[in-house]
């Protein structure tokens, strides 16, 4: 056999090998996927690479591994199409959920948690502490706002967002308004809270119908109470909030 024939056969073998390598098999498709730079897909490879690399020709997959393989694919699909902000919001909400578990299991209060964040960074986290502090206003959102304001040393939290495991009650919504927070992320609704015994929906309905709650209001001595107001208007170093 001459050198030219050997070289020809060698080049032919290399060509076949290259074509075989470029064949978009199951593993090749995943590695060349445009989503491969996403965090979820990187984690996906690290956690379950064996589910996609095992060749079927060597040995059939056992039924349990087949179902795990399918479940892993389904698990990765939702996060594939989420933006970076959506993934960050999901992480922050999970922190709030952990706070809800913590407070509930320690009997500090109901199953509610909240996180105040700024630019994706956790500023304060809290859970409901009504039972622990004997304070009916110690809802998770209120406690989180108090801690965030104390940490930042300012009452204006307009550059922050709050993540709550449940739709804020009217009191918490008012606290969020006074703090200047412009975006609220919440999980459960007031109807969900009502199903487990909390009466947030009742307060919302009273506000919607413009009816006063079951509290007797008595107005008197208005003129004496107006005097501090008048002095406040004359105060030069007053701060409006």
Catalytic residue numbers? 141
Tokens of 33: 């996927």
Tokens of 115: 């996180």
Helix (H, G, I), strand (E, B) or coil at 170: helix
Beta sheet of 113-118, edge-to-edge order: 121-127, 113-118, 161-166, 184-188
Tokens of 179: 């703090």
Rg for the chain (alpha carbons), in Å?
30
Tokens of 152: 């930042």
Closest residue by Cα to residue 50 from 32, 24, 26: 26
- Helices 170-179/200-208 angle, 10° precision: 70
Number of neighbouring beta carbons within 10 Å of residue 114: 33
Tokens of 180: 């200047």
Tokens of 157: 């939290």
Helix (H, G, I), strand (E, B) or coil at 168: coil
- What CA–CA distance (Å, rounded) separates 123 from 241? 21
């Amino acid at each position: 056999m001459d050198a030219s024939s050997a070289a020809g056969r060698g080049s032919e073998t290399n060509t076949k090998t290259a074509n075989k390598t470029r064949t978009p098999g199951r593993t090749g498709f995943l590695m060349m996927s445009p989503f491969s730079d996403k965090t979820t897909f990187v984690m996906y490879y690290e956690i379950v690479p064996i589910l996609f690399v095992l060749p079927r020709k060597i040995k059939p997959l056992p039924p349990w591994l087949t179902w795990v393989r399918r479940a892993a694919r389904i698990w990765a699909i939702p996060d594939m199409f989420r933006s970076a902000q959506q993934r960050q919001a999901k992480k922050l909400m999970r922190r709030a959920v952990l706070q809800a578990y913590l407070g509930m299991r320690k009997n500090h209060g109901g199953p509610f948690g909240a996180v105040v964040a700024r630019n994706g960074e956790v500023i304060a986290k809290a859970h409901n502490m009504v039972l622990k502090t004997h304070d009916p206003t110690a809802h998770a959102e209120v406690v989180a706002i108090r801690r965030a304001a104390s940490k930042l040393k300012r009452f204006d939290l307009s550059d922050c967002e709050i993540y709550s495991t449940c739709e804020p009650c009217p009191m918490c919504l008012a606290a969020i308004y006074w703090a200047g927070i412009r975006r609220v992320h919440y999980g459960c609704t007031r109807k969900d809270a009502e199903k487990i015994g909390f009466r947030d929906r009742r307060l919302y309905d009273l506000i919607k119908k413009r009816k006063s709650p079951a509290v007797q209001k008595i107005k008197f001595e208005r003129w004496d109470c107006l005097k501090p107001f008048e002095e406040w208007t004359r105060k030069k170093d007053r701060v409006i909030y």
